[in-house]
Structure 1
Amino acid sequence: MKGKRLLAAMTAGVLALSMAACSKQPADGGQQSAGSGAEKNFPSKQVTIIMPWSLGGGPDTIARQVAAYGEKYLGVPVIVENKTGGAGTIAMNAALQEKDDGYSMVVANGPLFSLTPSFQNVSYTLDDITPLIGMRITEFVVLTNSKSNLKTIDDLKAYAAAGNTIKYATTGGPGNDSYTMIAVLFKMLDIPAEAIPYDGGQDAINALVGGHVDVAIGSPPVYRDYVANGELNCLGTFIPEGVDVEGIGHIPSFKEQGIDVEFTGMDYFAVRSSVPEEHKQILTKFIQDVYADEEFQKAMSEMDMKAWAATEDEIKTMIEEQTEAMKEYIPLIQ
């Protein structure tokens, strides 16, 4: 009888320990979902968007517009943190060093994977990130200062034929898309040119307006007002069908001008690929909600920009196509 009582006591003790173990909260206070590493209440603190390019450029402008809706659609503040340099690689490396918890997004573009690795030793691949949603299609336009006599491509040729070297501002160095495409353009035109890299589109345009360079490259948010008020002149765009900009009109492509060069770039939001799927879905839904917001759409329209809500698969397909296209251009400038 005594043995039975002892066995019963031992059994009760084991059951008590088992129940205690089952009811014990995890070290994170119960925020983690079983087996996924996801927080039940994600996000519960500030989210950061890491920006590879400088303040005031197209991607930075859109990212800050999106971030302004953090409290409304995500329930927490969202900020933009600029980490410029290295043709975007500094920001990409910084993003990949952050915790894979979804609290850090990064704005990326195609050339970080389709172009930059041909000019720099990079420590990342496309497998390291997951594109969440597109941001914009990049409509690069080549511009000159209206005070100069460089109004057309023929003017550039004549200027070069007179023994001059064109100084042009780009939004980055070798491995950057704007650097590469304008370098290819001048190579095809047999025009001697020297690149002056800047950290972003606004810096490049400021250099052109200030007369520090002969040519610059930019996208609508940074050049539109300068062209509309007569300070800058458009030579052409790499978009094969040309672009129509409100207040300016149609900007012809270089293809339309008989120069066989074209490029359609894009920017997009991404996170580390190891971020929990639940967090990726929440962040994607947040940006989708912002894109659908009428006030956001109005603000974008006023800047003559349009959100590009591409999916992960669409973005990756475009990067693959861009990689193939770059195989034709890269040997011209290496």
Structure 2
Amino acid sequence: MKRKRLLATLMAGLFALNLAACSGPLGGSAGGGDKDEDFPSKQVTIIMPWSLGGGPDTIARQVAAYGEKYLGVPVIVENKTGGAGTIAMNTVLQAADDGYSMVVANGPLFSLTPSFQNVSYSLDDITPLIGMRITEFVVLTNAKSGITTIDQLKEYAASGKTIKYATTGGPGNDSYTMISVLFKLLDIPAEAIPYDGGQDAINALVGEHVDVAIGSPPVYRDYVASGELNCLGTFIPEGIDVEGIGHIPSFKEQGIDVEFTGMDYFAVRSSVDDSKKAVLTKFIQDVYADPDFQKFMSEMGMEAWGATEDEILTMIEDQTTAMKEYIPLIQ
């Protein structure tokens, strides 16, 4: 009997200890049980506003390939195209603010798009984590056209032809706006043909479906290097040097008063916990520092743009000021 009482007492004591452990500071239901310590514990998604094969998409997919190595979980890219990037923005803002959804954003989503359509978001809704790239837009022609300069383009237009030009998206998109502004300043009759992504626009030019296109180095470089396309100029005010091509002069250098420096960056909802933002930012910084990733970017003729949140926000403010001058030209 004494043995049974002793056993019962021991069992009761063990039960009490287990209960205390579960409810005390070391347990999971009170005090220090923070699931965020395990972040991330599942797949992370990068929401991409633009189509497959474009510059941002290509870079984002390369970053995602390092998910297991530097984040410990898979990272995928999910394309949500349309609406000059607004569909992707709405998608990330409707997703849980748990840090498992990032978005690739750009300045015009805030400095330009709201001037052309109603949007359900503001800059306060997101937090930029780190820059991705500086967008160096170049205007191109098909080599078969024989047009290699702006003056030759003007001569071509003077023959009475309306130039068809390929853009990424429509009003509210930076590539559409800048090339449209260029044609307005040159007083050239032109018709915009919107495409879902930069690669689609370049494919249309290579296939001679349009006369002119606008693109960034990752999508046009090989075509220019092979002699299929010609560069007429860039909106970057000091011009750009592209490996395998050489110097591309700016329109400013050619006497045309237009300039634009775009950028893409990684962001999350502003309500995501700061500790999770730090983890995601560190992941991308680690990728940028990886020699293989640096080689990949070099082969594309680009460098990763590791800008901070404050640097990105300042650039968006500067873009917003510049767009106030350009938007009335095409509205």
CA distance in 2, matches of 1:109, 1:20: 49
1:157 aligns with 2:158: no
Shift of 1:22: 3.2
Q: Counterpart of 2:260?
A: 263
CA distance in 1, matches of 2:101, 2:211: 38
Shift of 1:162: 1.4
SS across alignment from 1:40: helix
Kindly indicate whether the alpha-carbon contact (under 8 Å) linking 2:63 and 2:284 is maintained by their aligned counterparts in 1.
yes
Q: Counterpart of 1:80?
A: 77
Q: Counterpart of 1:70?
A: 67
Q: Show CA shifts across 1:37-56 (max 9, x none).
A: x6110000000000011111
Q: Counterpart of 2:202?
A: 205
Match of 1:173 among 157, 170, 175: 170
CA distance in 2, matches of 1:256, 1:249: 16
1:299 aligns with 2:296: yes
CA distance in 1, matches of 2:124, 2:86: 15
Match of 1:144 among 130, 141, 146: 141
Q: Counterpart of 2:28?
A: 25
Q: Show CA shifts across 1:84-129 (max 9, x none).
A: 1111111111111110000000000000000000001000000000
Q: Counterpart of 1:313?
A: 310
CA distance in 2, matches of 1:80, 1:62: 10
CA distance in 2, matches of 1:195, 1:208: 13
SS across alignment from 1:234: strand
Q: Show CA shifts across 1:108-153 (max 9, x none).
A: 0000000000001000000000000000000000000000132211
Q: Counterpart of 1:11?
A: none
1:43 aligns with 2:40: yes
1:332 aligns with 2:329: yes
CA distance in 2, matches of 1:49, 1:20: 39
**Runs (4+) off by over 6 Å:** none
1:275 aligns with 2:276: no
Q: 1:298 to 1:194 in 2, by over 3 A?
A: same
Match of 2:114 among 110, 114, 117: 117
Match of 1:234 among 231, 234, 242: 231
Shift of 1:20: 8.2
Q: 1:176 to 1:31 in 2, by over 3 A?
A: farther
Shift of 1:21: 8.2
Q: 1:240-255 alignment to 2 at 5 Å?
A: 240-255=237-252
Kindly indicate whether the alpha-carbon contact (under 8 Å) linking 1:185 and 1:261 is maintained by their aligned counterparts in 2.
yes
Q: Show CA shifts across 1:46-90 (max 9, x none).
A: 000000111111101110110010000000000001111111111
SS across alignment from 1:39: helix
Kindly indicate whether the alpha-carbon contact (under 8 Å) linking 2:114 and 2:172 is maintained by their aligned counterparts in 1.
yes
Q: 1:19 to 1:54 in 2, by over 3 A?
A: same
Q: 1:138 to 1:43 in 2, by over 3 A?
A: same
SS across alignment from 2:311: helix
1:221 aligns with 2:222: no
**One-letter code of the match for 1:132?**
L
Q: 1:279 to 1:157 in 2, by over 3 A?
A: same
Kindly indicate whether the alpha-carbon contact (under 8 Å) linking 1:31 and 1:40 is maintained by their aligned counterparts in 2.
no
Match of 1:91 among 79, 83, 88: 88
Kindly indicate whether the alpha-carbon contact (under 8 Å) linking 2:22 and 2:29 is maintained by their aligned counterparts in 1.
no
**One-letter code of the match for 1:25?**
G
CA distance in 2, matches of 1:230, 1:126: 42
Q: 1:130-141 alignment to 2 at 5 Å?
A: 130-141=127-138
CA distance in 1, matches of 2:84, 2:117: 9
Kindly indicate whether the alpha-carbon contact (under 8 Å) linking 1:300 and 1:306 is maintained by their aligned counterparts in 2.
yes
CA distance in 1, matches of 2:91, 2:147: 40
Shift of 1:195: 0.6
Kindly indicate whether the alpha-carbon contact (under 8 Å) linking 2:23 and 2:29 is maintained by their aligned counterparts in 1.
no
Q: Counterpart of 1:8?
A: none
Shift of 1:32: 6.0
Q: 1:279 to 1:153 in 2, by over 3 A?
A: same
CA distance in 2, matches of 1:19, 1:80: 44
- Between Structure 1 and Structure 2, how many residues are aligned? 314
SS across alignment from 1:131: strand
Q: CA RMSD in A?
A: 1.9
**One-letter code of the match for 1:233?**
N
**One-letter code of the match for 2:156?**
Y
SS across alignment from 1:239: coil
Task: Show structure 2 runs of 5+ residues with no match.
Answer: 1-15
